[in-house]
Every structure is written in C-alpha cells, then in structure tokens.
Structure 1
Amino acid sequence: MGADNLDDSLTTQTENSPRELLARSFFFVCAFVSILTTVGIVFVLVTEATTFFSETAGLRGVTGPTVSIVDFLTGTEFSIASEQFGVLPLLSGTLAIVVGAAVIALPLGVATAIYLSEYADPQTRKYLKPALEILAGVPTVIYGYFAVEYITPLLERYLFPDIGFFNALSASIVVGIMIIPMVSSISEDAMSAVPDDLREAGYGMGATKFDVSTGIVVPAAISGIFSSFILAISRAIGETMAVTIAAGASPKLVEFGTVGAGPVSVPYPDPAYFLEPIQTMTSAMVQLLFSDITGGGVAYRSLFGIGITLFVITLIMNVLSDWVASRYQEDYD
C-alpha cells in the first residue's frame, strides 16, 4: 500500500508541474478551437438555411422572394435566371458521380489492400503504400484538368464518339481514382490488424493464400473495409473542383427507361446520362458563389440550402460509418 501511495503521489506531482499544466492548457485550447469552429460552421449553415426557406423567413424579418422547403426538396429544375431552386437535379448529378466513382474505387481499393496486406513483401509495402497515398495529396483541380485533357479524349476516341466535352463519366472516373487511396489505406490497416493465428489456422487446413485472403482476412476485417467504403463515398459526395471542371454546370435530372412491360416492368437509369454534362451540389455552390448575385438575395441564400443538404448527407454517412465500425468490429482479445 505504501508503494501504491508513493506512486500516486509522484503521478499527482508530475501532472501538476508547470510544464504539464502548460501542455494540458495548450492541447485544451487546440481542442476547443476545433470544436468552436465546427459549431460555428453548423450555426451559420442552419441560420442561413432557415432564412432561405419561406416558413421561417418572415419570423426573421427577411423580405423578398424565398423558397419553400418542399419545393426545394422536390423541385426538378435548378436555374438562377428563373429563380427555380429544386435540389433534385443537383442531387441526381451528385449520386451519378458517387455511383460511378464507387464502381471504380471500391473493387480496386480492396484489391490493392489485399495485395499490400497479404502478398507484398515488407520492402515493397514500404515504398508502394506511401506512393499510393501520394494520390491523396494531389490538388483536386489537377484531377479535373486531367479528366478534361486525357480521360474524355480517350473515351471519345475508343468508346463513346458522342460523349460531351463535359460529362459525368470522366468526372466519375477521376473521382474514383481520387478515393482509391482512402479505400486501400483504411482497408489495408484493417486487414493488417487481423491476427496471424487466423491465417496460420487457414494454412494448416490446406487453404491457399488466395483462400486465406478472401475467405478469412477480408471477412475478419469487414467492419474496417465497409467503413472505408462509406468514408470514401462521403469524400466523393463532397468533391468540388474536379467535378466542377470535368462534369460541367448543366443541372439535369436523370431519366429512367423500363425493361419489360406491364406489372413486371423494371425501371433503370438511362446510361446516356453519364455521357452528358451535369451538375453536382458542390459545383452548383461554386457557380452561385462566383455568379452576379446579390449578397442578400434568394440565389445567394440558396447556397446555404444546398450546403445544409450536403452537410446532412455527409453527416449521416459518417455516423453510419462509426456505427458499422462499432457494431461489426471483431474483438480478438
């Protein structure tokens, strides 16, 4: 007991030393500034977004035209000139980019993570993983110009002669390339955390490396892999400059065709939608910000309506990622 009391006393003295108090205060200020910044952003978004909608504008003394929240969420046209601010065409374009990017990034990212975790020797992994993560440090505007100058001409020459100069397909491809490092890095960390005992048990049963990788390691790391999917998709939803440059600024609602007839007909999105210029929520915000709009007008306030919609979507995705990680995380202790 005497030794325990002595250890507690020494710990208390160390924690109360001027150096420790200074370090604690510094880190507290850093954490407080981060939280305060987040709260400030949310406050501005919520305040200005509620002003944008007609139900609350009168209470705040705002004059001039406003937009009903129902019209905003269900409107099928977005046009500054005609003051039509339906978010569905922008949401349609955003989802098109996200789906296209996910088709490219998710399988390639998981395959890369499997190679780094299970097949690559330590020396190769030492150089390959940082080289892959360099992709995450490239400015997004560079990706946009890369799509316009290289991806679109290649698609036009070899696959789609009628593709537009600005189109959703090249934007989806370049955003998919952008988020591959996020999928591969987080998935590889999850796979590396799987105990070697599970691998050795599989090899002891006569399994091949491919069987162990796909049948043991990937299922054991599925919570981390799925979390990487959601975080990468959230990154694709919030991408701005690459899609602004590559996809254009033409808000369009996706059109649907049908397969079959009568009660067994199945709707499907028109693939030609990916060959045309579209507009996402983020690129619409850029267009609104740099257009000739008045600071207090409805067009300016629509920035915050789109922003709060984007914020809610990404917040849901991140909460879902945390829930999946905690719900399906394996405990090997």
Structure 2
Amino acid sequence: MSSLLVLAIVVAIGVVAFLIGRQRAAAHENGTVKPHSRAHYHGWWAFLLAVLPALLLLAVWTIGSSVYLDRHIHAALPERTADSKVASEALDVSLVKSLAKGIRRLDANTLPASFAELQPLLAAKGVALATDTQDYMIPIAVEANKVQDRLGLFGAVITLALAIAGAFYALRQIAPRARARNNVERLMLWGLLAASTIAILTTIGIVLSMLFQTITFFESVSPMSFFFGTVWDPRFADAGSGGSQGQFGLIPLLAGTLYIAAVALLVAVPVGLMSAVYMAEYASPKVRGVVKPALELLAGIPTIVYGIFAVVTLGPFLRDLSAALTGGSPFIQGQSIFTAGLVMGIMLIPVVSSLSDDIITAVPRAMRDGSLGLGATRSETIKRVILPAALPGIVGAILLTASRAIGETMIVVLAAGVAANLTVNPFEAMTTITVKIVNQLTGDLEFNSPQTLVAFALGLTLFALTLVMNIVALYIVRKYREQYE
C-alpha cells in the first residue's frame, strides 16, 4: 500500500473524528453544566490525536523501511571480486533499486533471467536502465519488491490502527469540563516551536555543511593566502596535483562583489526611494494604482532576461557610445562593472520602491497632520518628519536590496564577465563570489581537491559578509528607533 494512500486514509479518519467529536461535544451543551471548551475544540482535538501520531509513525516507518531495504539488498549482493563489473557497492544497490522499480511494471512470474532479454520489455514500458545492470540483480530486485510490499503493508496496518485508536481515545474524553481548548492550544504552541526550531536547525546545518568543507580546504590552502591573496587562478587542469600551483586569492572576487553591488545601489536606492516618496505623498490614488503595479511587475522579470538585455543591448550600446565620444577605441568594454551595476540597479528599483512605499505609508497620519498644522510645507514634512520616522524601515529595505545585489549571479555572468580582475576602473570587467562558486561546482568534479572545495570557502565568506551587514543594519535601526519613537 502506497504511503500517499495511507496518508489520505489517515486524514479521512481525522475528518470523521472531527465531525463526530464536534457533534458529541455540542450534544453535551445542554445548559446544566457550563462547558470548558467550545464544541469545535473537541473536534480539533480528536482530529489531531487521530492524525498527528499516525503521520509521525508513517514518516519514521518510511525512513526505516528505506534503510532496511538498502541493507537487505546489500546483504543479498554477491561478494565483490577484483573483476567486478560495477564500480562500487553503492552503485550496485542503486542499480538494483532502479531495476526493482522497473520490474514492478512487469509480471514477476514471467521475467527473463537475462538483462539483455529484460531490457526491451522495460523499454516498451518507458523504463530506461543503466547498461551496467547485471543478470544476478534480477532475482535480488524481485525479492526486494516483495520485502518492500510486506513492509509497506505492515506499516499501513499499524498506521491506520494508530489513527483509529487516537480518534477513539479522543472521542471517549469528550465531556463538558474536558479541557480540549487547552490541549489544542498547547499542541499548536509546540507545533510553532517545532517549525521555528526546524528553521534554526536548517540554518545551522547549512553553515556546518559549508564549515566542514571549508576546514578541509584550508588544510590544503593557507587561510592567509586565501583571504589576502590578490590573484585568482584555481587551475582546474592541475587538480590532480592537489592545487599546489593554483592561487585562490579572495580579494579580486570580494572587490568585484562589493563594487558591482555598490554601483547597483547607487542606481536603485535614489530612484527607488524618490519614486516611493512620490507614490506615497504626491501621487493621486489613480496614478498610484497604475504606477505601483507597473513597478512591481519589473520585479517579476527573471534575472536572465536582464542579463540578456545587458549583453545584447546595453553593453554594445555603451561600448559604441564610448568609441564615438573618443573617436577611437572605446573606453567602456562590452562587459564591465558599470554595465552590470546599471542593469542590476534597474532590476532592484522595484524592490526599493515597493518596500519603501509600504514603510512610508505606515507612518501615522497624525505626524503628517501635526507637521502641516504647525506651518511646515509638504516637502519639509517629508524631509524632517516622515523620512526620519521611516528611516529604520528604509534601512532594512536597503539592506534587503544590498543582499540581493550581492547574491546576484546571472546578470554578472553576462554583463560583467567571469574575469577575476582587481581594478578601480568601473568600465572594465570584474566578477563576483557567486559567479566563481558556480564555476567551481560546475562539471564532473570530485569533492576532494582545493579547486572544488574553494566554493564552500567562498560561500561561507559570503554568509559572513551578509551577517555583518545584518548586524550593522540592526544597530542603525535600533539607534534611530530610540530617537524617533
């Protein structure tokens, strides 16, 4: 029995328990005894007791069954010899599992003993298997399907029995003074706590996954040469040598990341902030109803489209324009910091504008009216009252924009190139940390060389950079919030 079918049946049992529980609780509200909880709380308590323990058991059983099946297949495989045709035991298990899924579409009683004869039958069913599959895997796959069916049936029976038992237990607890509301609220509180814990643990897991690989990378490359090196030359061709001849200087990538993000913010923040002020304070409702959705529509354009626009239209235009101004060779390259920053800034204008507009409109109307009542003009009210009051939120909006600019990849690849240069000329090409992370992890590479492990060091550096930005922004927000509240 499939897990999806078991899940549907468990939810159906929970719904029936909810309806019966609510009906029985409503029947107890006869006016003689004041009920502690409303009828729907009793229904929800019955639903939760029927569904949650059963789903938890189903999840644990599914994971445990998968582990047990892998061990069963591994134990059934013959002993490996020096002339084994499959590269590893893990690949053996994977091939058997793939074969078992394909065999499910065929009649197990009429299976051929040869994979050469079985392959056309599977191909007719739309199943494609690796050519490394061997004949001895066929009976193992058939037995694996039987084991999986037995485990699935046993797990389904236990899960459904637990769901019914939970519903029956909850229904028997229904009484006028039963504290169903407290039970439901306590369970929901634990659910919210679990959700927040999962989010925290996920972040910790991401950091640890990068940290361990980064430590392995620094066992081969000196941290000083990484953090303070000015040359980026990982040399994939020399990966077999352990990276001894490669150079992993972070400075060119970090400089390119901050440089391009700064140019983008110089474009996006003034334009976006002024457009937000106009829409919040000057625009009529009719104009605002047209302009704001149009700006937000720009935020939905994929970044690859902006990158194509930069490399096909804006980059050549700026190059030809600079050539026409000098009358000779252009001083703006087709791929440059200025081109990438300008296009990225255009992409980020809707982010700054939309967030700042929501923040400005959230400023209490009494502050505007008080300023205007004291004789201040509208522009003075905006400069001296509204913007200072909204400054903490605006700083947060700028931080979000900066984080998105730092994490952008496609626009940089197409508009600024992949050259790890170290320059102050905005009309030359540079690249960013995110681009190099993609480059280092692209291709058929093993995670045992500095050329690949450096991507994790770059990712951890980018994480630390974003964390510092958040801390600085939090300090600014708290400082001005204390001043204006």
Q: TM-score, normalised by structure 1?
A: 0.81
Alignment of 1:180-259 (within 5 A): 180-254=349-423
Q: Determine whether 1:17 maps to 2:45.
A: yes
- Counterpart in the other structure of 1:171: 340
- Distance across 1 between alignment mates of 2:422 and 2:35: 66
Q: Deviations over 1:125-173 (max 9, x none)?
A: 2332232122222211111111111211221233463322211111001
- Distance across 1 between alignment mates of 2:449 and 2:443: 12
Q: Give 5+ residue unaligned stretches, structure 2.
A: 1-32, 49-183, 236-244, 324-329
Give, in angstroms, the shift of residue 23 of structure 1. 6.4
Could you say what secondary structure the match of 1:17 adopts? Answer: helix
Q: Determine whether 1:98 maps to 2:261.
A: yes
Give, in angstroms, the shift of residue 73 of structure 1. 0.4
- Counterpart in the other structure of 1:78: 232
Could you say what secondary structure the match of 1:274 adopts? Answer: coil
* Cα distance change of structure 1 residues 12 and 297 upon mapping to structure 2, 3 Å threshold: farther
- Distance across 2 between alignment mates of 1:7 and 1:322: 50
- State the structure with more CA Rg: 2
Amino acid at match of 1:224: G
Give the number of aligned pairs.
300
Counterpart contact for 2:359–2:390, Cα < 8 Å: yes
Bigger relative contact order, structure 1 or 2 (CA pairs below 8 A, ≥6 apart): 1
* Cα distance change of structure 1 residues 331 and 168 upon mapping to structure 2, 3 Å threshold: closer
Alignment of 1:1-333 (within 5 A): 9-10=36-37, 14=41, 17-18=45-46, 21=184, 30-54=195-219, 66-81=220-235, 82-159=245-322, 161-254=330-423, 270=424, 273-291=425-443, 293-329=445-481
- Distance across 2 between alignment mates of 1:50 and 1:7: 64
- Distance across 1 between alignment mates of 2:34 and 2:407: 50
Amino acid at match of 2:403: S
Give, in angstroms, the shift of residue 213 of structure 1. 1.8
* Cα distance change of structure 1 residues 11 and 119 upon mapping to structure 2, 3 Å threshold: farther
Amino acid at match of 1:17: W
* Cα distance change of structure 1 residues 24 and 104 upon mapping to structure 2, 3 Å threshold: same
Give, in angstroms, the shift of residue 184 of structure 1. 1.5
Q: Which moves more between the two structures, 150-159 or 73-82? A: 150-159
Counterpart contact for 2:272–2:349, Cα < 8 Å: yes
- Counterpart in the other structure of 1:257: none
Counterpart contact for 2:318–2:334, Cα < 8 Å: no
Identical-residue share of aligned pairs (%): 38
Amino acid at match of 1:68: S
Give, in angstroms, the shift of residue 32 of structure 1. 4.7
Could you say what secondary structure the match of 1:67 adopts? Answer: coil
Counterpart contact for 1:231–1:317, Cα < 8 Å: no
* Cα distance change of structure 1 residues 23 and 134 upon mapping to structure 2, 3 Å threshold: farther
Q: Which moves more between the two structures, 80-89 or 122-131? A: 122-131
Counterpart contact for 1:224–1:329, Cα < 8 Å: no
Counterpart contact for 1:167–1:278, Cα < 8 Å: yes
* Cα distance change of structure 1 residues 126 and 83 upon mapping to structure 2, 3 Å threshold: same
Q: Give 5+ residue unaligned stretches, structure 1.
A: 1-5, 55-65, 255-269
Give, in angstroms, the shift of residue 186 of structure 1. 1.9
- Distance across 1 between alignment mates of 2:364 and 2:34: 35
* Cα distance change of structure 1 residues 216 and 250 upon mapping to structure 2, 3 Å threshold: same
- Counterpart in the other structure of 1:260: none
Q: Which moves more between the two structures, 113-122 or 297-306? A: 113-122
